[in-house]
Chain A
């Protein structure tokens, strides 16, 4: 019966820990060569990722203990804070790296507002959709306010610029609208106009256009725009069924750029082969199953929407990343949750899992 708090979803917990464990190993393996040369310390990235993982674990366990209904009141302040950070990051306060301004902070402490924005957005949508659930079928009352918000958040992120994260946030919001019961006709309209906007974003920026053309046939541009995809495919290809063996990647020797962040999955495929890559995909599928199960069995609308949003946020991003790495999608610069190197991404993702685990404690089906 209801209201007797049970244990959190064990399978989701284990899946998450496995993914993070694989991530730590792969961050070390993929970054050791470059960090040894750049920082004279093969463990440079690994140590940082390990620290973030430990912080993330503590946060996850703390969040797991807090009744998720209590964070409902945080939704609006957190969204405002996220928007402020997104604005700050495009002012001179933002820290520039590789042609884009994506993080805030001082010295060693840096964080990416867009990672915060992802979680804040899911929380905010869950809270407001709960209140608005009876208007969700109306366009002006139900859908339009969300479209404006999505446009605002994605617009700010596009200023960094970061098409990948914008797309991930918009996609998550789209699926949350779907889960909340929006009309198919409205959703279709959003999908079409969204696709139009992405197309426009690609057409407007020459580098995106080049990437897109390169995506269609990377072998035509093997030295510039197609380079990354080709190197990624080399990595996956040489991995074969069983892989080259852990630590034995060749592509990580300065062939494949972003080998410990956006393209870590390629190195994983190279070292652990199809089986290793397949295992990771299976873990994400398992994660999706448990996440949606928690959403379905959540004791209230808010919990259900929150669980849906968090699960989609993580799984959707994983799907895009794996799509990019395997050449099925154009290069967008998006990380693989739990596995890619990146402190704030890991931290916020793990907090999201903490919420999921908390919601699972209140479901009746076990």
Chain B
């Protein structure tokens, strides 16, 4: 629908990291007149500029008046770009629509492609990955969109049919407009422990954008156990379906006598035994129920759901939720071997993060990483060869809660001391593992082992 309309339009792409770059390329391909904009200097942007220059897309790091005057038709914002930049104030005053990468991807989507979106404070990655896995087991051409793999625009502009499970952060939801998933899932909204009430309201408000454009006949799957979500569900225009890991519901998905059931119009529709679930932990039960509900409502067959649950053990080393211990969630994101994916990881948490980072630098620049650390991290634990580099980058910001350690053992111990209930301890190194480990898998395994042993020790 939108594909045709984009040709000839003048579009400003703000932020030229991975997904901004993807957006610029897609827009160019569709015949738009693209201008790339990033506050960083052309040297800092490096390869991105080269790729855009090959397409004759001008890249600027200052918005001169001549660009501003030639009335823009659309502004596309990359995830991670703060919406407080002056350019957005200007856009608002001029009535230029500002959309995010998610919205752009949605507009480029083929109508035959179904979109299932998952959001929440925690568990998005696991839920989305499981959802995709169940759908694939059912014989659908199922794709994953979100933090792992291709940028969503790149994926959706190519697909002609199939179903895409998308992981959506509240940040991305701030810049959607027409975005309308066939089924959306809302996992949880964790209250901000800093008690910033206004922010919390805005955060909840942003989450509601996932279903704002839905119509009756679409489904919205809500976690019944989350009081914020129950409130939010009242405003939902789609068919609301609850799931609960704690209660038996008069209508919805829950576990009854160790069997996952969907109670619908007074009848219990049995899906499969809860014993099929291989993912451990209470938080994962919510993730599983959400993925089961969404896939079932989409059309997955119980036997195949059962099969999928029996074989899905989570996405290893990628936003892998290892354990909840004393109110702290330990997350293994060892696969994040560059700043870009570590930034993605940080942006997916709304609660304070104790970040463990460092290793061998693969030639990345840590400036942007440092900015995101300043925004989102409470305590930073750094290790490995790149320790000094990261420290130097972070010292250029106002962030000072830096803790240097020698190895991962020490890092986990320090993080454990620093974390308080409600925090996330995140291993997202932004570096390769080769200085201290044979591979990122080994690094991740050790982290999991250390985190679990913390919990075991305190039980004794």
Contact = CB atoms under 8 A, between A and B. Distances in A.
A and B: interacting chains: yes
Interface of A: 1-3, 67, 69-70, 72, 130-131, 133-134, 296-302, 304, 364-365
Given A300-B302, A301-B271, 17 more contacts: A1-B183, A1-B219, A1-B297, A2-B297, A3-B264, A69-B267, A72-B267, A133-B272, A134-B275, A298-B302, A299-B296, A300-B270, A301-B270, A301-B272, A301-B302, A364-B301, A365-B299
B273 A298 contact: no
Contacts of A298: 301-302
A133 B267 contact: no
A1 B219 CA distance: 9
Nearest to A72: B267
B182 interface: yes
A1 B267 contact: no
A3 B297 contact: yes
B96 interface: no
Contact of B298 (A1, A69, A130, A301): A1
A304 B303 contact: yes
Contacts of B272: 133, 301
Interface in B128-157: none
B182 A304 contact: no
B420 interface: no
B303 A299 contact: no
Interface in B296-343: 296-299, 301-303
B258 interface: yes
B259 interface: yes
Contacts of A67: 267
A304 B304 CA distance: 12
B413 interface: no
Given A133-B259, A134-B258, A134-B259, A300 B269 contact: yes
B298 to A, nearest CB: 6
Q: Please indicate which of the listed interface residues A69, A300, A302, A365 has the most CB atoms of chain B within 10 Å of its own CB.
A: A300
Nearest to A70: B267
A304 B297 contact: no
Contact of B299 (A1, A69, A131, A134): A1
Contacts of A3: 264, 297
Contacts of A299: 269, 296, 301-302
A199 B53 CA distance: 84
Contacts of A300: 262, 269-271, 302
Contacts of B273: 133-134
B248 to A, nearest CB: 16
Given A2-B297, A134-B258, A299-B269, A304 B275 contact: no
A127 B269 CA distance: 12
A365 B301 CA distance: 10
A298 B262 CA distance: 14
A300 B182 CA distance: 22
Contacts of B269: 69, 299-300, 302
A312 to B, nearest CB: 17
